[in-house]
Chain A
């Protein structure tokens, strides 16, 4: 855990709520991304992310610093997102119908299209594999840390990551064809 985070957490525990805003600013995009990948719905993802921050705030005293704050926090996000999906009524909005607001919004149409297919491919994965892929490509998340978030062994996490990437590669090959090879 970096020293800034450590100081913010300490300040929060001493009653300085403003320090928690720093943690919110640092993790909101990553938490939201993870929530979008699991719920496949931006509204639900926003609600899950906010709930996760509130839960993190109320349980902060229980964070002992045995893992990174991000690992502890992503676990909260993942649990809330999974339980949101479980409680969902049939006929929810699918990711295909979403107007995806991604980092690529302002970039070229081609890149936006690629992003769309990547999201579609991730959306087709089971929840745990989608979470593993998302976390793997996030900054600073090692396989060891991911395995703690998804509560699997490192070996199982590795196997699921392999399966997920294989499925995605096959799907993207079909959707993007030669485009996939020409990206490099």
Chain B
């Protein structure tokens, strides 16, 4: 009888330690993926002032849009926590998208090598943010699923694990997960400039 009990205890202990290790590993991956996003966001924040300076001379009549980008950046830099960051960065993405849509109207910009280089830098940063978000969310899903399946759900909390938060873009930004900001030479039809204030994509914080 005691043998059976002993075997049972060993079995349960073995199962617990395997599950615990798997959860720890996933938690590390999630934490690492989050850091990866943070690095990309930092890079975007660093690039934006350069870009604004580079285009300011050409886009004198778009001060509003430029101002919006600068403000959105300031808000994003100040944000803390997964949810708040996601919302602020979403606004910044939209502001940038608008800036680049308007930039299509300025053919001089397409001839400026410095601007083109900055644009490629920002394009890749935008993509890298998108892909690191994608990777982060995939890993969060795996981590959370692992905690919520039976029988792990019975003791995941006991072992000190909590579901991680998804990095979710605001509703308006969700449709465009990847951005191509490179100016297509010639072929693209320029977007008609929208009068400031009537912007249809006015960001709603927290939505």
Whether A associates with B in a native complex is: no
